[in-house]
Chains A and B, each alone.
Chain A
Amino acid sequence: MKFRRIGAPIAVAAIAAMAVTGCTTTNETPSTTTGGTITVAEVNEVTSFNPNTPQGNLDMNAKLTGYTRSGFFYLDDKLNIIPDKSFGTVEKTSDDPLTVKYTLAKTATWSDGTPVTADDMMLAWAVQSGFFNDSTTDADGNVTSGTTYFDYAGDTSGLGLADKPVVGDDNTSITLTYSEPYADWQLINPIDAPAHVVADHAGVALKDVMSAMQTMPRGDAAKPAAPNDALKTFADFWNTGFDATSLPTDKTLYLSSAGMVLDSWVPKQSITLVRNPDYKGDLKPKVDKIVVRFIGDAQAQVTALQNGEVDIINPQASADTIKSLEALKNVTTLTGNQFSYDHLDISFNTKVFKDANVRKAFLMTVPRQQILDAIVTPQNPDATLDDSQLFFPGTDAYDAAIKVNGSSAYDKVDIDGAKALLAGATPEVRVLYNTKNPNRVASFQALQASAAKAGFKVIDGGAENWGSLLGSGTYDASIFGWISSGVGVAGVPQIFSTKGGGNYSGYSNAQVDSLAKQLQVTLDKKAQDDIQTQIDTLLWGDGYGVPLFVAPGVMANSNNVTGVVYYPGQAGVGWNYWEWAKK
């Protein structure tokens, strides 16, 4: 009895001791100091390795591919197109018809060792041209007949003008021939996901898909054909297969063709990119590792920078953020413009603004400088009035355009001038704006007070559902923002031509229509700028409206990091990551 009482615990203890020693680990060898890690704070988390589908079309997804995918060119901070010859060359071989040849360099390789080939370019072309789609969709987005292969979030109308590419040079080049000149041809970058990976995961032979692409005719929505199974399976994987909530076990889903390759992903916290050992191109990163931490709150990004937890931040700009950043030592704050601007538009189809003089009088009362000083200057001290409807401040074309486009007439509030044009009339103007956006509310209030001095009765037409009211004809003027990619001219007819999908103002000017049409087929950048300047001048002359201000942006870096340059576009702070270095 006695023994059993004591014996049992001893036995338990002995077993436990064995278990304890069995559960130990050997110590990891302490890591040698790394050559350099740069940590970047970003607002959003990655949701997909394919940023080109509607659901994956998120800034962070695009930024991740910026680190991991090479292309034929990239855009620098002045929006110049900089070719990357170590990936491939773009050559315009003919103007009429417009023919462009894309040739891959020998150094272009995916990080699994597979060379980048014309197959990859064919995938990108099929996606970006929508060539094979023959679907008809109703207003709700449901497909009523035919097939949509690739759910592409971008615009297919440009590359859609081209015929099926001709593959050549031992499967390393494609040649595109456009049926009509396409103004933004230089912005076509025919590279997307690795085709062999898509085929492997879709469970189809890449060969079959490529031959389907070579044999299938252009899709015709009027005469939908039976879907091609190989291509459909292939496209279906491209549509959703790259979406993720954590690091996939299959490494091929996040192959890299650029200087960095994804190494780890701690959901909700961070991703880590390491140097791509197989990258042979020119844009070699100087640092070994780039860690991207997901920090949504702007103030939290600032304190993390102050505390040395991150080296570069990219927060949503506000006056408070700038103020707290400027108080920090050893931190460089970079401010500049973003590719979006607030603007006041006149509705041409309303009674009150039929008369051009009333339009001009109204626009003369807009206190643009006051609005700029109140909203933008605290965040971007160098901000100036946005004097062009078509060009973004900071580009050479903008500087040239504002001298001639007639915008100077509206730089200062001119109450007397407005009164003279009104000749005693006191028109009622209902202004639509977003009541949830404090900047728009502030703009409206400033406008209301100023216009009243000239005799306008400005009625508050602000609404939370302003977006669905656009173009409804229930207002006389509207204050809202345009967001654009900053490059290309495809957006111009969209907004300013009579039948443009974004023309909410009912604006119609035959001259603008024909110029916009001409713009779409003009290949030369200089000539494009000329046409855009002409349109700009017509818009100002017609009293289309006035741009209010360009949205400010902010980035900041700790002074132990060099090479960080402000970037206005959606590629964000990582646009030149290969130039980053740690001191």
Chain B
Amino acid sequence: MVTFIARRLVVSVLLLLGAAFIMYQLTALAGDPLEEFYQSRLPNKNQLIAARTEALQLNVPAPLRFFLWLGGAAKCIIPFANQCDLGLTAQGQKVTDLLPQALGSTIQLVTAATVLAIVIGITIGIVSALRQYTTFDFVMTFVSFLLYSLPSFWVGILLKEFVAIRFNDFLGDPQLGPVWIAVISIVVGLIWLGLIGGELRRRVTVFLVSALATAAVLIYFSLTDWFLHPNLGPVLMLILSAGVALVMTALMAGLKNRRAMLTAGIQVVLAMICYFALQPLLNISSIYTILILALVTIAVGLLTGFLVGGPDRGLNMRVGAFTAALSAGLILVDRFMQAWPSYLGESAINGRPIATVGSQTPNLPGDIWIHGVDSFTHLLLPTLTLMLIGFAGYTRFSRAGMLDVLNQDYIRTARAKGMPERVVIVRHAFRNSLIPIATIVASDFGALLGGAIITEQVFAFSGMGALFQRGISLPDPNPVMGYFVVIAVMVIVFNFIADMTYSALDPRVRTRG
């Protein structure tokens, strides 16, 4: 094992060096950094050309210049020496100063999108696999291929037009017409029908119930100006957290498990108590308060599971923790919603909340709730863009993986033993189908920091993509190399982790020697 790791490390370093060299040469060849001066009528343009030649060391041939760069970059390996020197940009800025800023923007931009794409993609993929060759499956296959093939700048522009500008216009007079209510209700009904499936009678019931419920909610929203003063309120809170408890119990323990039901039920009761009791505290909370509360919530969930669990403590603790975390999340959502009206009233927002550019409203006053809403309104569109495009891949992979596993002998054996379908799917099939997905998730996380060059540009998020793009257009190799180093190291590290995970997960992959 040790030799395996050592060999991988050596290969990785050689790979990194080779790739860095090629990258540097390609960047240096990408254009002429002096081009802008050729058109200049300034009397001192020769002086400017000389200054840039010196700043970018253009008099040194690119293959040799690479080693000058490498000399500075090599200092980054010395731990804690803080001597990292990735060079200066053409504007004389340190690349090591720019990288953290760019990384920050990119992480902000892509994290939520990636997580959502993974969760939603895998869920839909698995449901598709379980409902293979049904209408739901076909529709999802169609939708995921459609989204997969959409260019991101176009999705971005469409979202800006419909989700931002039109929605903001709609907020001027938030009344849904009967046509819209009907359309939305029917679509929601169809989605539920597809998700739950079953015989005709069950389908009709599901469709009617969900469509009518949606219509009722939408009418309620329209009548009460809910879009201007959104909130969950105690009734919805109770219904939603009870729903969370049921789903969590059903997925993890099965509805027949009384102890799990009790654990989850206690969480719902606690959540309702907290919903009323914690409001004054939430009003004056800082981000750290929320963090501590989150830890306490999970601890309480675990503790309840531990105390109530009896012989099956581990399972109950999991049910408790998940239910507690999700229902506490609902309280936070409700609190954010309470901040919405005052957010809308801010002069900088002026009643048009959904933003099309940037990551925050400049100089916005207010507490964490206002700023949280502000981040939400800014991240909504780019996150949707990246998610819509990204989730298609996960859907396909998890569907295929799940189908593969469902056809294995041991699944048939498990069913033959008389195991409940829930256990067969969740415990036997789902877990094993995750192994191939883990590969993709690992490599995606590696590529995550590469940023989304086009999405960044469309939404004016100046992250890693912008750093790269600006560097390449001059061309100015130092920022490009800074970008490259981060991405390459991430990809290598995550591939390494993926390899390690396999050998830990699957004895067959383990190498000898």
Contact = CB atoms under 8 A, between A and B. Distances in A.
A106 B88 CA distance: 41
A381 interface: no
Interface in A285-318: 289, 291, 293-297, 299-301, 303-304, 306-309
A392 to B, nearest CB: 12
B299 A12 contact: yes
Contacts of A446: none
Interface stretch (A30-38, A74-82, A110-118, A408-416): A30-38
B291 to A, nearest CB: 8
A484 B101 contact: no
Contacts of A509: none
A546 B54 CA distance: 35
A330 B394 CA distance: 44
Interface stretch (A17-25, A65-73, A369-377, A393-401): A17-25
B387 interface: no
Most buried by A among B51, B54, B466: B51
Interface in B337-360: 342, 347-348, 350, 352, 354-360
A470 B38 contact: yes
A491 B42 contact: yes
Nearest to A271: B362
Given A137-B50, A140-B50, A295-B357, A300 B459 contact: yes
Contacts of A28: 365-367
Contacts of A308: 168, 350, 352
A445 interface: no
A13 interface: yes
Interface stretch (A84-92, A152-160, A229-237): A152-160
A266 B342 CA distance: 23
A577 B378 CA distance: 28
A37 B44 contact: no
Interface in A463-515: 464-468, 470, 480-485, 490-491, 494-495, 501-502
Q: Top 10 A-B pairs ranked by shortest CB distance?
A: A141-B50, A55-B92, A54-B51, A467-B38, A140-B59, A141-B54, A268-B462, A23-B288, A484-B41, A491-B41
Given A54-B55, A140-B50, A294-B460, A245 B93 contact: yes
Contact of B41 (A16, A58, A466, A502): A502
How many B residues touch the partner, as a band?
A: 35 or more
Interface in A236-260: 240, 243, 245-246
Contacts of A332: none
Contacts of B303: 9
Contacts of B358: 269-270, 293, 295, 309
Nearest to A246: B101
B41 A495 contact: yes
Given A16-B296, A300-B459, A502 B362 contact: no
Contacts, number: 224
Q: Which of B42, B91, B284, B365 has the most CB of A within 10 A?
A: B91
B398 to A, nearest CB: 34
B82 interface: no
Contacts of B160: 303, 307
Contacts of A156: 44
Interface string B39-60: 1111111101111111100110
A270 to B, nearest CB: 4
A301 B54 CA distance: 35
Given A293-B362, A295-B358, A309-B355, A25 B54 contact: no
B151 interface: no
A494 B293 contact: no
Given A31-B365, A268-B105, A294-B462, A155 B42 contact: yes
Contacts of A83: none
A148 B423 CA distance: 78
A48 interface: yes
B42 A296 contact: no
Most A CB within 10 A of own CB, among B102, B161, B342, B357: B357
B157 A299 contact: yes
A297 B358 CA distance: 12
B408 interface: no
Interface in B10-46: 31-32, 34-35, 37-46
11 contacts: A9-B299, A33-B347, A37-B348, A47-B93, A54-B51, A139-B50, A142-B54, A269-B362, A307-B355, A467-B34, A491-B43
Given A47-B91, A140-B54, A483 B356 contact: no
Interface string B84-95: 000010111110
Contacts of B281: 20-21, 24
A47 B92 contact: yes
A272 B48 CA distance: 31
Q: How large is the interface on A (under 10, 10 to 19, 20 to 34, 35 or more residues)?
A: 35 or more
B38 A27 contact: no
A20 B296 contact: yes
A268 B43 contact: no
Given A34-B347, A245-B98, A55 B90 contact: yes
A246 B101 CA distance: 9
B284 A16 contact: no
A153 B48 contact: yes
A141 B498 CA distance: 49
A307 to B, nearest CB: 5
A264 interface: yes
Nearest to A243: B92
Contact of B356 (A19, A57, A303): A303
Contacts of B459: 300
Contacts of A20: 281, 289, 292-293, 296
A393 B399 CA distance: 65
B165 interface: yes
Given A53-B92, A142-B59, A502-B45, 19 more contacts: A23-B288, A24-B286, A28-B366, A30-B342, A39-B362, A57-B48, A153-B51, A264-B363, A289-B363, A297-B457, A300-B357, A300-B458, A300-B459, A303-B157, A308-B350, A309-B356, A468-B32, A468-B38, A495-B41
Contact of A25 (B161, B285, B352): B285
A3 to B, nearest CB: 14
B44 A481 contact: no
Nearest to A139: B50
A13 B292 CA distance: 11
Contacts of B98: 245
B261 to A, nearest CB: 22
B50, B161, B356, B360 — which one has the most chain A CB atoms within 10 A of its CB?
A: B356
A168 interface: no
Contact of B286 (A25, A245, A269, A304): A25
A309 B88 CA distance: 33
Interface in B142-167: 157, 160-161, 164-165
Nearest to B53: A141
Contacts of A54: 48, 51-52, 55
A56 interface: yes
Given A20-B289, A31-B365, A501-B46, A483 B41 contact: yes
Nearest to B40: A483
Contacts of B342: 30
B429 to A, nearest CB: 37
A340 interface: yes
Contacts of A494: 41-43
A295 B168 CA distance: 21
Interface in B283-338: 283-286, 288-289, 292-293, 295-296, 299, 303
Contacts of B59: 140-142
Contacts of B54: 140-142
Nearest to B50: A141
A377 B387 CA distance: 40
A39 B364 CA distance: 13
B199 interface: no
A149 B123 CA distance: 65
Nearest to A153: B48
B97 interface: yes
A217 interface: no
